[in-house]
Amino acid sequence: MPANRPAPIFVFDVNETLLDLTFLEPLFARCFGDAAILRNWFAQLILYSQAMSLSGLYTPFSDLAAGALHMMGTIYGKPIGDADVAELRDRLARMPAHADAAPALARLQEAGFRLVTLTNSPPSPSPTPLERAGLGRYFERNFSVDAVGRFKPAPETYAYVARELGVDRTSLCLVACHLWDTLGAQATGCLGALLTRPHNAVLPAPGLPHPDIVAPDLADFARQVLETWPAPSGPS
């Protein structure tokens, strides 16, 4: 635990970390006859978002998500129509919060910790997905990689947040349930906190930084934060 460093600004990933991705399962069950295809689609979406960043290319994450759905349809021999894409976009905009999100964020906010978000998703008009899920009030700012035209874990994404907040990257802690996100942040000097929600775990391999904090959920993450750093003076 990084107790020797001042309390960081906590930068939360949004999709799957705060919002429940399983809300999309009915779409995949209907289109593919198997709700578990959701995980394959999401893995392909992340793979190709990172491939685009490495290639110097960019398209909004929501458009890439629709394209990945069409690609999965081709792979599995299940034609994807305009109504299916419309449902995907609608469900992505209405994902509910995980049950542990609001209580944990409220504890941290009331203790005075600074909370922001950083998402691969493009900006959206109000009400945003976070506002619809009842989480918007916990964050002082919300950042999208759309501003730099690179997807996480590209270094530019974390540098952008630090620049906008007027702090060094060492003052940030990226909180996500994706190891590729935490290791990307750690590689730029940020702290990294991994939530081991279902389908996510630490990868023990040489050369990879171990997350500074590992927690099964946001409740335990908040507990560890409050035990590690003195609460800042007054609510954020």
Q: What is the CATH number of the domain that holds 82?
A: 1.10.150.240
pLDDT range class, residue 1, cuts 50, 70, 90 = low
Q: Which domain holds residue 60?
A: 21-93
Whether residue 15 is found in the same domain as residue 78: no
| Residue 196 placed within a domain | yes
Instruction: Please report the pLDDT score of residue 60 as a whole number.
Output: 96
Question: Does the pLDDT value for residue 209 go beyond 50?
Answer: yes
Domain's final residue, options 76, 93, 110: 93
Closest CA to 50 of 127, 147, 155, 194: 155
Assess contact for 184 and 154: CB atoms under 8 A: yes
At residue 196, the 3 state secondary structure works out as: coil
| Residue 236 placed within a domain | no
Instruction: Give me the mean pLDDT over the 85-103 stretch.
Output: 98
| Residue 4 placed within a domain | no
Whether residue 161 is found in the same domain as residue 75: no
Whether residue 149 is found in the same domain as residue 65: no
Whether residue 14 is found in the same domain as residue 56: no
Instruction: Please report the pLDDT score of residue 99 as a whole number.
Output: 98
Whether residue 46 is found in the same domain as residue 77: yes
Q: Where are the beta strands (DSSP E) in 152-211?
A: 172-176, 191-195
Of 2-6, 124-128, 166-170, the poorest mean pLDDT is in 2-6
Instruction: Please report the pLDDT score of residue 235 as a whole number.
Output: 44
Share of the chain above pLDDT 90, in %: 92
Closest CA to 161 of 15, 129, 52, 153: 153
Contacts of 189 (CB under 8 A, 6+ apart): 168, 169, 170
Instruction: Give me the mean pLDDT over the 118-134 stretch.
Output: 95
Whether residue 53 is found in the same domain as residue 32: yes
Instruction: Give me the mean pLDDT over the 131-136 stretch.
Output: 98
Whether residue 143 is found in the same domain as residue 69: no
Domain's final residue, options 93, 125, 140: 93
Q: What is the mean pLDDT of the chain?
A: 95
Of 70-74, 121-125, 152-156, the poorest mean pLDDT is in 121-125
Tokens of 14: 């949004």
Question: Does the pLDDT value for residue 189 go beyond 70?
Answer: yes
DSSP state of 10: E
Whether residue 177 is found in the same domain as residue 198: yes
Whole-number Å distance between alpha carbons of 174 and 167: 14
**Phi first, then psi: what are they for 215, rounded to 5°?**
-140, 150
Number of domains, the chain: 2
> Which CATH number belongs to the domain containing residue 212 in this structure?
3.40.50.1000
Assess contact for 137 and 156: CB atoms under 8 A: no
Question: Does the pLDDT value for residue 234 go beyond 80?
Answer: no
| Residue 59 placed within a domain | yes
Backbone dihedral region for residue 161 (phi beyond 0: left; psi -120 to 50: alpha; all else: beta):
alpha
